[in-house]
Structure 1
Amino acid sequence: MSSQCADSFNLTIRPDITVETIDGKNVVLVYVPELSASQKPVYFKNQGLPRGAYRRIDSSDQRCTDDDLFIFYHQEDELDSSIIKDSELEDISEEAVALYRNLRAKVNPYAEELQYETIEMLQSLACLKKGADKYYLTYAGLLVFGKRTSLRRLLPMVRVDYIRVPGNTWIEDPDNRFTTIDMRGSMLEMVQRAFSLVSDDLPKGFVLPEGELQAGSNGLPARVLREALVNSMIHRTFRVNQPIQIIRYGNRIEISNPGFSLKPEEHLGIPGSVTRNPIIATIFHETNLAETKGSGIRTMRALMEKAQMLPPTFESSHELNQFTIRLLLHHFLGEEDIKWLSKFKAFNLNEQQKCALIFIKEVGAIDNPTYRQLNGVEMIKVRTDLHDLKDKAILTQKGKGRAIYYVPGEELIKLLPVVEENEHGNEVSVQAKDDSEHANGVSEQGENGLTTQSGGLTTYLDSLTTQPGDLTAQLPLELQNKLEQLGQRSNSKTEIIDVILELCQWKSLTLNQLSDLMKRKDKKHLKNTYIVPLRKQGKLEYTIPEMSNHPKQAYRTVSK
């Protein structure tokens, strides 16, 4: 062990090794002192950086990425200031330049850079650099000021996908699953376009213009939506070829961007900003498209609370290299909520637990970080409250370790509205069985997908439990033949990958379903060797990206 520590790493590690006798048995004790900040990260020499280094994330060791090195070295990422070799002056959008000048002049009409010609102005913003024989756009320059055609040519996966999902869950019908609109363009234009698209899709009058937020308001503050969109754009990583996804369900909006938060989840909302893209972030701050550095999340929470809506929740996944903001389109403790929560009076729940029940009624599950974000409490309070709900059979615990989450338990299921489909295939929410005196109360979704009575999840909980025999019978003949040819002992990684992608293109499938269809008993190996890498490559995606360990989580192939 001493020899390995001395020779395997970029620095010589000298562990303190002792042997003690406990209950007649020899026990080897190894103490490795922590390195100073200036010596980190230590890494395996034969693997180099970043893959040879690891970070401790919760209870697991995660292999480092380029973004982790940013944290270790405390230096600004050089990507957005790096030049794009195939770029040229013709890639600059005059419309984007004019939009920047207009936005900047509103903030400071005497800003020095506004006096420059376009080339000089872009150089002053670190968006344009001169090489030996020509000008080159930097990543920041192309992203903020590039033409749509140039962005498609040079950065084809840098786009925003707006996905409109009927109801509150993914529809499994491959022929009529959801509507997708993909958007490309300069980031300054994209913020406004995405904002308009999402706000226009909400019920008329639901998005509150800035300055019109009052105690009796009934809607989503425009500033919250704008800040969520801006956050996804300026903090995303451009080292991963994946688009930003805006998923509009009937009861919530979820915005996911590639790149985990460089700030720990527990520090989100605390003043102080850490950004991958300092040049892009500076442009957004100087045009007032983004909040003061480090205050965006805190502002969103305050505005949602003032609008009497459930606070936004955030999920940062190092493993998936993804960050998600979730905005529930639900007014907390409205008349329907108070009536529904009154059924839990005998359980003596506190206000934080009631808030969690409203969230679960909307989303279907909750985990510790989400509970903490909803209620702004310490983790010891989170664990105490959730364990209490579990002991009362209101919630059921699933998963282990850092993957623990909670789903409706026996008592909660009794009181959840039942979701059914009408003859048109639309979700209809019916009163819970115990609410017999209101048996005729039915809330059907309108054309905008919002209901005053939230759709329950008791029916959908079983929607992904189809038996493997049933699924096999449903498979297209071509896929059945490929599975037979693959065989249980096929070692061809390429063939296995192809089959996984074809299966998940045919239908969204859970890990259990994939394992059964492919006759792979080792689910952990299937996930770690194939599913996780395919997700990181952008070839597979979650059907429920807002909560990676959701009980109904499944995978689908990303359309090319």
Structure 2
Amino acid sequence: MNDATQVVAALRKFGAEATSIEAKRAETALPKSVLETLSSFSNTPGGGTIILGLDEGGNFTAVGVREPTKIMADFASWARDDMVPPLVPEIDFAEVDGQTLVIADIPELPRNQKPCYVKSRGLDRGAFIRVGDDDRRLTAEEVHQLVADRGQPTFDHEPVLEATIDDLDTAEVTRYTSRLRAGTNARIFADEADAVILRMTKVIARGSDGADHPTLAGLLALGRYPQQFFPQLDVTFVSYPTITGVRDAAGLRFLDNASIDGPIPVMVEEALRVVQRNMKKRALIVGAGRRDTWEYPPEALREAVVNALVHRDLTPGSRGTQVQIEMYPDRLRIMNPGGLFGAVDVEHLGDEGTSSARNGSLLKMLEDVQIPGEDRTVCENRGSGIRTMLAALREAGMSPPRFKDGTTSFEVTLPNHTLLDEETFTWLQLLGRDGLTDAQCVGLALMRHGETMTNARYRAATGIADSNRATKELQDLVARELIDQTGLKRGASYTLSNSATSVREGGKRPRPNRRRQILRLLEVHGELSKSEVSDLLDLTSKTAEHWLRTLKNEGHIESTAPGRGRRDNRYRLTPLGLQTPLFEDDEPTSSPTS
């Protein structure tokens, strides 16, 4: 069973395409809709995969392509010649149900090259993005946003002509300039007057009228009341009684709600206070003991709120949208206008050395502005905010946040559950932890709570930095039949297998005893190759390899030709294997016949 077969099986099982997979008939020629999908996958986080030769309307029946080499060449030509910028997808053949399919992997473009569009339709009508399983045309505002993000935005240090120097908080300005004079860059600022420092750091700037005015960043960092000029540059908070946000049975619409104004340092402090008054404490299992922890770690909350306020889009078209915080019984969601900026994508958020700032002047100012009541500044500007958030959640035994990058918006959702609660801890013990890493146990716990795992999400949840190591650990769980894989390469996702899902307290693992099955097969057949074991037991190649390696390491089987290549390896029982009683650690299963 190969990866393509598994993907097609998943499409048939769920009866619909995934966000990252598009199936198309292409028996004799490419359909024109391929161009729209090329654009949408190139503009969508994570990219996607196009499978040619499947009938979407016929439950993804494999109809194949008659001239796969020609279809492949045409596809590469369309991607190169009909798209702006030109695309270079990875294209390959695969065989499913005796039919040849063409599979193309379309990577996401770097942000400074978006949007990708169909050349013949132009930028305004030819740019698409993936929404669910459809290709949706980007709106004019979304196209404008992507084009604007190709360079460094300067909206944050534009002078606000309606404002004057008196609209800055005098005490905060004094603290700010004093900190700069005494800080790391004292050699630059030590002998400068306040007005000079404010101008050098873009807190104020000369307007078209020739006078000095606070900049937008200056008002947001050091202003007395920025909302006097920009009413919607604030934070709203709502706590809902139900997970859907509708009224509860008693007709209650909100448990709490607030509109938070002021400069960013004040909004951060007040937002954290409002969220915390709506939180509860819960128990966390730590080794043999337990400790109480907040539903959402304060450090993770702080970083999420700061990021939303500092990295929000400040273009004129987005100044009518607030930063929104929504609390539900099962999650906390923080939304801000403006998607990710620069050379950053959702998959690599939190990776060391990955950082980009839309509002560079604002971020730089907030390195030297303190949050009221705290002995630290609003921002470090070291690209460590997401890593701090992930580490705080891991320490609290919680799953990582979900990041959703829209073209004109960004969301962070924190699930309201603790991974290592008593029930999950018991489940892991019943599942069997022999040979599993701590990271694999965290991944399994996440999937038990309903998460769909990807390489990026696994790394975020476990703190593993190496993508290859994450893939290796996930593939090991697939081989152990604890999780199932759907999708290819970057589009691969993982969920709990049926056997892992059905483990119950007091029961045994319902997984078939693969040791017993393979030993019985070798008793019957004498010798078998890995592919023969895979076919006889209907296992993936990875699973068959895992159990053959396990039995070989245990000394129960041996290779018949140790010096030959892996493809030629065949396996037989050792004297120990012939003498060892059948294992009794799993539910008994019927023996396969020859």
Q: What TM-score do the two structures reach when normalised by structure 2?
A: 0.50
**CA gap 1:112/1:185 in 2 versus in 1, 3 angstroms:** farther
Aligned AA for 2:147? L
SS at 1:181's partner residue?
Answer: strand
Residue type at the aligned position of 2:313: T
Q: How many residues align?
A: 380
Deviation at 1:236, TM superposition (A): 1.7
Query: Which piece of structure 1 moves more, 341-350 or 132-141?
Result: 341-350
Q: 1:273 aligns with which of 334, 355, 362?
A: 355
Higher radius of gyration, 1 or 2: 2
Equivalent residue for 1:324? Answer: 412
CA contact (8 A) 1:396 1:409 kept: no
- State the partner residue of 2:146: 68
AA aligned to 1:135 is D
Q: CA, structure 1 residues 201+193, in 2 after alignment: closer, same or farther (shift >3 Å)?
A: same
Inter-partner Cα distance in structure 2 for 1:311 and 1:128:
42
Whether the 8 Å contact between 1:142 and 1:186 is mirrored in structure 2 is yes
* Cα separation, 2, equivalents of 1:311 and 1:76: 33
- 1:282 aligned residue: 364
Corresponding residue of 1:165: 240
Give the deviation of 1:154 after TM superposition: 2.7
User: Equivalent residue for 1:141?
Assistant: 218
Aligned to 1:339: 426
Q: Which amino acid aligns with 1:265?
A: V
The alpha-carbon deviation at position 338 of structure 1 amounts to 1.1
CA deviation profile, 1:525-552 (whole Å, cap 9, x unmatched): xxxxxxxxxxxxxxxxxxxxxxxxxxxx
Moved more, 225-234 or 83-92: 83-92
What fraction of aligned residue pairs are identical, expressed as a percent? 22
Equivalent in 428, 438, 442 of residue 355 of structure 1: 442
Alignment partner, residue 185 of structure 1 = 262
Rounded to whole Å, the distance in 1 between the matches of 2:473 and 2:247 is: 34
- CA shift at 1:140, angstroms? 0.9
Q: Relative to 1, partners in 2 of residues 1:224 and 1:24: Cα closer, same or farther, differing over 3 Å?
A: closer
Structure 2 counterpart of 1:295, which letter?
A: S
Q: Which residue of 1 aligns with 2:382?
A: 293
Question: Which amino acid in 2 is paired with 1:322?
Answer: F
Q: Which runs of 5+ in 1 are unaligned?
A: 1-20, 207-214, 416-431, 437-560
The residue matched to 1:161 in structure 2 has which SS? strand
Secondary structure of 1:242's partner?
coil
1:256 aligns with 2:335: yes
Residues 166 and 249, structure 1, Cα contact 8 Å, conserved in 2:
yes
Give the equivalent residue in structure 1 for 2:27: none
**Offset at residue 158 of structure 1 (A):** 1.5
Please give the secondary structure, in 2, of the residue aligned with 1:266: helix
For residue 366 of structure 1, what is the aligned residue in structure 2? 452
CA distance in 2, matches of 1:177, 1:385: 46
Q: Indicate the SS of the match to 2:305.
A: helix
Structure 1: distance between partners of 2:495 and 2:272:
33
1:33-432 to 2 correspondences below 5 Å: 63=138, 65-69=143-147, 72=150, 75-94=151-170, 96-97=172-173, 100=176, 119-131=195-207, 132-148=209-225, 150-151=226-227, 153-166=228-241, 170-173=245-248, 175-203=252-280, 218-219=292-293, 222-239=298-315, 240=318, 241-250=320-329, 252-262=331-341, 263-268=344-349, 269-287=351-369, 288-305=377-394, 307-310=395-398, 312-319=400-407, 321-324=409-412, 326=414, 328=416, 330=418, 332-345=419-432, 352=439, 354-359=441-446, 364-366=450-452, 368=454, 369-375=456-462, 376=464, 378=468, 380=471, 384=475
Quick one: which amino acid aligns to residue 267 of structure 1? H
CA contact (8 A) 2:181 2:189 kept: no
Q: 1:382 to 1:158 in 2, by over 3 A?
A: farther
Deviations 1:170-189 (A, max 9, x none): 45436424422121110122
For 1:199 and 1:385, locate their aligned partners in 2 and report how far apart those are by CA, in whole Å. 40
Cα distance in 2, alignment partners of residues 276 and 223 from structure 1: 23
Secondary structure at the counterpart of residue 326 of structure 1 = strand
Partner of 2:5: none
Q: Relative to structure 1, is the Cα distance of residues 49 and 35 closer, same or farther in structure 2, using a 3 angstrom cutoff?
A: closer
Q: Indicate how the Cα distance of structure 1 residues 92 and 291 shifts in structure 2: closer, same or farther if over 3 A, else same.
A: closer
Larger displacement relative to structure 2 (85-94 or 75-84): 85-94
In 1, the alpha carbon distance for the partners of 2:163 and 2:124 equals: 28
Relative distance call for 1:243 and 1:154 in structure 2 (3 A) is: same
How big is each residue's C-alpha offset from its partner over 1:102-138, in whole Å with a ceiling of 9 and x where there is no partner? Answer: 7768866958658766544432221211233433332
Structure 2 residue identity aligned to 1:284: L
How far 1:259 sits from its partner (Å)? 2.1
Structure 1 residues 265 and 166: CA distance shift in structure 2, 3 A: same
Supply the distance in 2 between the matched residues of 1:349 and 1:245 (Cα, whole angstroms): 40
- Matched-pair contact (CA < 8 Å) for 2:235–2:323: yes
Query: 1:159 and 1:136 mapped to 2: Cα distance?
Result: 21
The answer to whether the 8 Å contact 1:62/1:319 transfers is: no
5+ unaligned residues in a row in structure 2: which ranges?
A: 1-64, 88-109, 284-288, 370-376, 508-594
> Aligned partner of 2:146: which letter?
D
Equivalent pair of 1:125/1:279 in contact (CA under 8 Å): yes
For the 8 Å contact 1:227–1:291, the answer to whether it is kept is no
**How far does residue 224 in structure 1 lie from its aligned partner after superposition?**
3.3
How many angstroms does 1:280 deviate by?
A: 0.9
Map of 1:479 onto structure 2: none
Change (3 A) 1:191 1:177: closer
State how far apart, in whole Å, the 1-side matches of 2:158 and 2:278 are.
Answer: 37
Cα drift, residue 249 of structure 1: 4.0
Seen in structure 2, the aligned counterparts of structure 1 residues 320 and 237 have a Cα distance that, compared at 3 Å, is closer
8 Å contact 1:260–1:321 — kept in the other structure?
yes
| 1:228 aligned partner, one-letter code | A
- Residues 358 and 257 (structure 1), Cα distance of their counterparts in 2 relative to 1, 3 Å cut: farther
Whole-angstrom CA distance in 2 between matches of 1:356 and 1:169 = 27
Task: Identify if the C-alpha distance between structure 1 residues 99 and 130 changes in structure 2 by more than 3 Å, giving closer, same or farther.
Answer: same
Counterparts in 2 of 1:185 and 1:48: CA distance versus 1, 3 Å = farther
Q: CA RMSD in A?
A: 5.1
| Distance in structure 2 (CA, Å) of the matches to 1:57 and 1:112 | 50
CA distance in 1, matches of 2:424, 2:179: 42
Cα distance, 1:337 vs structure 2: 2.8
Q: How much does 1:159 deviate?
A: 1.3
Quote how far apart the aligned CAs of 1:347 are: 12
- After superposition, give the CA deviation of every residue in 1:316-346 in whole Å (9 maximum; x if it has no partner): 323463131526562x434443124335449
Shift of 1:294: 1.6
Partner Cα separation in structure 1 for residue 113 and residue 282 of structure 2: 52
- Paired residue type of 2:452: I
Letter in 1 for 2:337: P
Classify 1:175/1:226 alpha carbon distance in 2 versus 1 (closer, same or farther; 3 Å): closer
